[in-house]
Amino acid sequence: MNLGQKDTAFTYMMKQDPKYTADTYKALTGKWVNPELIKPFNLGDRFEKSPRYNDVAFLLDGWNLLVLIEHQSTLNPNMCFRMLEYYLHLVDLYIRDNNLKKYATKEMVLPKAEFYVVYNGKAPLKSEILKLDLGSIYAEAKVLDIHFDQLKDKSKNNALAGYARFIEHANSMSVKEAIQKTKEEGYLPEFFQEGKLVNMFAEIFSYDNELRYEGRMEGRMEGRMEGRMEGKQEGKQEGKQEEQFKIVSGMLQDGMDESLIKKYASITDQRLAEIKAQLKN
């Protein structure tokens, strides 16, 4: 399973049930929150063409708090800066939603920020705290190693433990086999109970792998087969569009969020609209 696939699995799972988000927040902070208080607040859910795509963001109703969680499979020392970017975009939406006035004489009450990174890469975790110090601007992000053997709570009802177990299996077997294995061990039974989730995961991951493989092959062949490749471009493009239609139509029929489809299938609003129109005909 590659890096993008892990991110896809985590983000998709968090959006399916606020309980999964509550479990993750408890693992990060030690605090339990009522899932009913969690209000998803993601950039991709608000824009047809988002300037940024965060992984997981939510408001805690009554807490005056905006929590951002980013999934990482590589060590990135710039995550605090990236999360600050996300926060500023999101808080601008919050200001509009709540009809706050930036230039009024009354002080705006804005949600406080909490930044977290969940990490499951191969390199050893160097620090549990990432910092951004720009003088008057300072931010921190807590980093949690979510490899299964590093989690304190491995109980069957812990969604984050279930995700970590699934990823551990998926690193050594197919996605369908990993799902089945995770279910047999008693993790995430509700999440994996519907067969369409198996197909959806398989579609996303196989499509991602295909694009990566195709890109590598094109790079290797470009120099010595440029002439023949030019002659095949039109047919190749048609084949790619047919495969893209197959994958994206499957995602739509399985009820996947359009913002996620655009993000993980790397398609434009126009292309998505074309595929939806074809499905109606």
- Examine the domain organization and report whether 24 and 125 are in the same domain: yes
What is the C-alpha to C-alpha distance for residues 28 and 224, in angstroms, rounded to an integer? 52
What is the arithmetic mean of pLDDT over 133-155? Answer: 95
What is the arithmetic mean of pLDDT over 260-271? Answer: 81
- Examine the domain organization and report whether 147 and 268 are in the same domain: no
- Examine the domain organization and report whether 177 and 263 are in the same domain: no
- Examine the domain organization and report whether 180 and 93 are in the same domain: yes
Name the band, by pLDDT with cuts 50, 70 and 90, for residue 214.
Answer: very low
- Examine the domain organization and report whether 59 and 128 are in the same domain: yes
Between 257 and 169, name the one with better pLDDT.
169
Name the band, by pLDDT with cuts 50, 70 and 90, for residue 224.
Answer: very low
Name the band, by pLDDT with cuts 50, 70 and 90, for residue 152.
Answer: very high
- Examine the domain organization and report whether 163 and 210 are in the same domain: no
Name the band, by pLDDT with cuts 50, 70 and 90, for residue 219.
Answer: very low
| Entry pTM | 0.73
* The total number of structural domains that make up the chain: 2
Collect all residues with Cβ–Cβ distance below 8 Å to 182 and sequence separation of at least 6: 162, 165, 166, 169, 188, 192
Q: What angle do CA 168, 173, 178 make, to 5 degrees?
A: 60
What is the C-alpha to C-alpha distance for residues 10 and 7, in angstroms, rounded to an integer? 5
| pLDDT at residue 45, rounded to an integer | 76
| pLDDT at residue 7, rounded to an integer | 75
| pLDDT at residue 206, rounded to an integer | 56
On average, the pLDDT of the chain sits at 82
Of 193, 209, 239, the domain-final residue? 193
Question: Where is average pLDDT lowest: 35-39, 146-150, 197-201?
Answer: 197-201
Nearest by Cα to 252 from 243, 239, 265, 261: 261
Of 193, 210, 231, the domain-final residue? 193
Question: Where is average pLDDT lowest: 76-90, 147-161, 262-276?
Answer: 262-276
- Examine the domain organization and report whether 139 and 174 are in the same domain: yes
Of 139, 169, 193, the domain-final residue? 193
Nearest by Cα to 75 from 132, 122, 34: 122
- Examine the domain organization and report whether 160 and 262 are in the same domain: no
Q: What angle do CA 180, 184, 187 make, to 5 degrees?
A: 95
Collect all residues with Cβ–Cβ distance below 8 Å to 3 and sequence separation of at least 6: 73, 74, 121
- Examine the domain organization and report whether 22 and 67 are in the same domain: yes
User: Strands 112-119 and 56-60, how do they pair?
Assistant: unpaired
Say whether pLDDT at 205 is over 70.
no
Say whether pLDDT at 187 is over 50.
yes
Model pLDDT for residues 33-71, shown as the tens digit of each residue: 999 999 999 887 776 555 568 899 999 998 999 999 999
Nearest by Cα to 116 from 4, 21, 253: 21
- Examine the domain organization and report whether 177 and 265 are in the same domain: no
- Examine the domain organization and report whether 140 and 211 are in the same domain: no
| pLDDT at residue 75, rounded to an integer | 86
| pLDDT at residue 208, rounded to an integer | 47
What residue type is assigned to position 171 of the chain? N
| pLDDT at residue 47, rounded to an integer | 63
Domain containing 219 equals 201-280
